[in-house]
Amino acid sequence: MSLLWQCAIVLAVVAASAANEDFNVDCEKHSIKVTWKVSSELAENAARLFLGHCVPSTFSVLPTGEGMATFHYNLNGCAIKKRVTGKKHIYSTNLTYRPDRKPKPAAISHHIKCVYIRPEGWIPPFLIPAYGSAEGHGGLVFHMALLNEDLTGLAKTSLFPLGSFIPIWAAVDQKDHQPLLLLLEECVAATTPELQSASLVYPIITNKGCLADGKTGNSRFLPRYHSSALLLYLQSFKFALGEEVYIHCKLVAWDPEVFDIEKKACQYIKETGEWELLDDPSQSDLCKCCDSSCKPRLKRGVDSEPQGLVQNSVLGPLTIVENSETRIPSESVKYPTVEQVTVDWMA
């Protein structure tokens, strides 16, 4: 991130604001700082002001009765979404006033975005020898990127012929933490960088870590080189051919010694017709739920159970193209919506 900061473009995209509202956005080295001057009516309900899912770091009432809310948070917090596209790393979220709780919509919503230019020669951290060593303190940093065919660096193109493979790399910086296991809990493809309840999606990983596209297609996980990283060899699909596609994933950092039906990486082995646990095939019984529902039967105490450290990430846009060699007879395919695949983690 320090390299990215040297070539940063600070970009704040804000919708037309209501009267008497002033914004200031600072995209800092590792964080974002937003100050929001709100009307006296909103100041009386300051607890319903949010940046992503975070409330103001500080709030003060001005002599005029107006309020000044300050949000100062790490770029990897508050459900801020990171997207890698071309030569840019984009962090985006919404600044909202929600007098009512979800699922009711926000009364005021403004889109905030910080854009960092990727330096020439930037490569994913896993290619750096020191990757994974402890360095300082702070929260976890998650990564997600498209790789080239040799898995030696970033992809130089975002165009993929139908049926070809798209190498996707995901990782979490361990820093001063004990060893971590990186899991992709859910992944879907969509035609928009943000998911809505009615968005049409192509399920890739579902059911708490089941690579569903490996059963319907030929996608698979590659053997891990480290517990804190995961390589998904995704076969390009027919969904949204010729359109811009975004890969939405829920990344989870977990204990590498503990697997269960909700914390796993499972793939379908067509030769055996069975699901297999990537990290320990001897525990593949944990994957049997992939064809049904991977939710625990007992819900008692679920709120107190550890859920791991989570980051929602968006990768794209990428485009899948069809040519004469990959042409498939046209057919009517009905894709599910976000609600139908229960992707509530993007809300």
pLDDT tens-digit readout, 27-79:
998 899 999 999 999 999 999 999 998 999 999 999 999 999 999 999 888 88
- Average model confidence (pLDDT) across the chain: 80
Which amino acid appears at position 196 of this protein? Q
What is the distance between the alpha carbons of residues 103 and 65, in angstroms, rounded to a whole number?
A: 30
DSSP state of 104: S
- DSSP secondary structure, 73-134, as one string: EETTSTT-EEEEETTEEEEEEEEEE-SS-TTSPPSEEEEEEEEEEPPTT---GGGSTTTTS-
Please state the φ and ψ torsions of residue 228, each to the nearest 5 degrees: -85, 10
> Distance from first CA to last CA of the chain, Å, rounded?
27
Distance CA 119, CA 197 (A): 36
Q: What is the pLDDT of residue 178?
A: 74
Distance from C-alpha of 202 to C-alpha of 190, rounded to nearest angstrom? 7
pLDDT digits (tens, 9 = 90+) for 304-321: 344 568 888 999 899 999
pLDDT of res. 297: 63
Q: Which residues, at least 6 apart from 78, have a Cβ–Cβ distance to it below 8 Å?
A: 51, 52, 53, 54, 71, 93
Identity at 316, one-letter amino acid code: G
Phi, psi of 126 (to 5 degrees): -70, -15
The predicted-structure confidence for 69-116, as pLDDT tens digits, reads as follows 999 999 888 888 887 666 678 899 999 999 988 788 999 999 999 998
d(CA 41, CA 64): 12
Distance of CA 325 to the CA centre of its chain: 33
pLDDT in tens, 201-241: 999 999 999 999 999 899 999 988 788 889 999 999 999 89
pLDDT at 343: 53
- Closest Cα to residue 311, out of 83, 1, 12? 83
Alpha helices in the chain (DSSP H): 2-6, 40-43, 213-216
pLDDT at residue 339 above 80? no
* Phi, psi values for residue 291, rounded to 5°: -95, 5
**What percentage of the chain exceeds 70 in pLDDT?**
75
14 or 340, which is more confident: 340
- Cα–Cα distances (Å) from 32 to 11, 49, 165, 243, 340, in that order, read 11, 16, 35, 32, 34
More reliable by pLDDT, 298 or 300: 298
- Report d(CA 155, CA 264) in Å as an integer: 27
Edge-first strand order for the sheet with 67-74 is 22-27, 31-38, 67-74, 58-61
Radius of gyration of the chain (CA): 21
The 10s digit of each residue's pLDDT in 192-212 is 988 877 788 999 999 999 999
Q: Residue 67's beta-bridge partner residues?
A: 38, 61
Q: What domains can be seen in the chain, in order of their start residue?
A: 18-117 (2.60.40.3210), 125-294+308-321 (2.60.40.4100)
Phi then psi for 264, rounded to 5 degrees? -165, 165
In DSSP terms, 164 is beta-bridged to none
Tell me, what's the pLDDT at 3?
A: 38
Q: How confident is the model at residue 121 (pLDDT cuts 50, 70, 90)?
A: low
Which of these, 228, 222, 225, lies nearest to 133 by C-alpha position? 228
Q: Tell me what pLDDT residue 142 has.
A: 86
**Of all helices (H) and strands (E), which one includes residue 31?**
strand 31-38
Predicted confidence at residue 180, as pLDDT, reads 87
The DSSP output letter for 292 is S
Maximum separation of any 2 CA atoms in the chain, in Å: 72
Q: Per-residue confidence at 168, pLDDT binned at 50, 70, 90?
A: very high
122: pLDDT strictly greater than 80: no
